[in-house]
Structure 1
Amino acid sequence: MTQTVLRDCPAPAKLNLFLHVCGRRPDGYHLLQTVFQMVDHGDVLHFALRGDDRIHRANDIPGVPEEQDLIVRALRLLQAEFQRRHGRLPPGIDVTVEKILPMGGGLGGGSSDAATALMAANHLWQAGLDRDELMALGLPLGADIPFFIFGQTAFAEGVGEALQAVDVPDYWYVVIEPGVSVPTAAIFSAEDLTRNTEPVTIADFSRCLVSQTNPSEYGRNDLQAVASRLFPPVARAVEWLGRYGGARMTGSGACVFCAFSTESEADEVLSKVPSEWVAWKAKSLPKHPLAEVLQVDGVID
């Protein structure tokens, strides 16, 4: 019997262990290098097939109209691809989102939600797309979506879509939400953004991990200086957390993180975070938690 419900599907957050801007394409998109690392903290999605063909988000998310939600847009793309391949529309889906990750936090929440939705619907509909096909389907909606479907720690280049698996030891992370939402466009359009960082290689990053205990001490986040200037709470969070290690901002902001080798170290720092901030700890995830459950081809090596 065909499965009609998928509950408790995680959409994990990501951290950018470093983020370099190495140039700019003629179309205005920036050329990036980064290492994406998933952590075991994020949104949770629930899916149920409908009796019609409607894609529907069953709950409100403040600030995100249903028609603009990446989840809804991604599922409609997959629904259209299903129709192209099979000559008929698949059933619609009701999606309920337990929204945990802040918007404008640099944690990839919207992209992770969309990636989880694509993997879940591909499974429920038995659509038959493999990992690379799902990644290609999601890319026009957001450059981070392919990473979550790729499903493992990755060295990324281009606009973030050219991915290679990379090994990073397990770490515990303390993450601070500074209480501001940072619009990505404002950061990338800033005149003082660094856009000429020299390219690095996976080998450069891997050598750093051998000699250093904190992966966030490699390189830098080129977007952090602009975000800190425009949003002082980001600068304050970096300064405070930096007392305990190589703290830096993730993505285009606003969240700030620091890596620790043990949970007890993370707990000690977490207990000292000023009450003005929301803060949490999370462990690194070498693989996406849905990879085995939904058996997306190519995710498991």
Structure 2
Amino acid sequence: MTASAPARPAARGAAAPPRPPRRRAGRPGRRRPNVLAGAGAFAWLAVIGVPLYVLLVATFQRSEDYTAAGPLALPADPTLDNYARAIDNGILVFVANTLAVTAAVVAIVCILSATTAFAVVRSRGRWTTGVFRAFLLGLAIPAQAVVIPVYLIIVQLGLYDSLVAIVLPTAAFALPVCVLILTGSMRDISDELYEAMALDGAGSVRTFLRLVLPMSRPGLATAAVYSALQAWNGFLFPLVLTQSRDSRLITMGLFEFQGEYRVDVPGLLAAVVLSAVPILIAYLLARRSLVNGLMGVGGK
């Protein structure tokens, strides 16, 4: 057996083989902290957190302590009297009325916007295109511009000072945005799925119920949350179309804590907290579908 020849030294002028890059000391994959982004996030957290802190802390303070110590001071003698006073002033009745109006608005908007969007996506006729353009025209009409005609129509229908008087215009002004959302959501459904349903012998109704609605769940959640927020935070229609105390919603019921010469700030903020709990729970339950609906079907 012959021994292997020793490696010859590299000739002068020849390029040396590249050296492997040196690894930096430290943990693998560790990145430098972004100080600027952290400072911006902390500032934004302060902007959001300080008002929430003031809101929650004030609900446990007495009115005289809040006036003397200021909004940032911790309650020296925490109390739940503000929540009890808010309940005594009828905040639960206002919440119940608002829940009823919100549920009705969400049901009407989801049913009408889903069927309208399905007709727009699957039909290319002139009538459906005209209806879709009419809905888009509704985006440019503010409620303040037509509040007087809406008031006259509600009075002629005999619905003034009722919850139905709030449901109908609120749902009407929420429909254009929801139709636009669901139209974009349903257009992302591939034609192969529609063809598969047609080969299976499914008609339009079955295709809508078995294919379109499940695939459009994120868009439906987005439309539901949007319409619920419009109904829950609405102020103009409850102000103009209702009068009695039994028909008041949250936005009008908060005036119960404002007197002629003073405002019960802790009691008012306790009522605000109680009024925000239901819509916060609804958002927490639908937040994932809401984000997917804003990003597109399936979160694409």
Q: Which band: TM-score by shorter chain?
A: under 0.3
For the pair shown, the structure with the greater C-alpha radius of gyration is 2
Determine which structure has the larger helix proportion and give its number: 2
Determine which structure has the larger strand proportion and give its number: 1
What TM-score comes out, normalization by structure 2 length?
0.24
What TM-score comes out, normalization by structure 1 length?
0.24
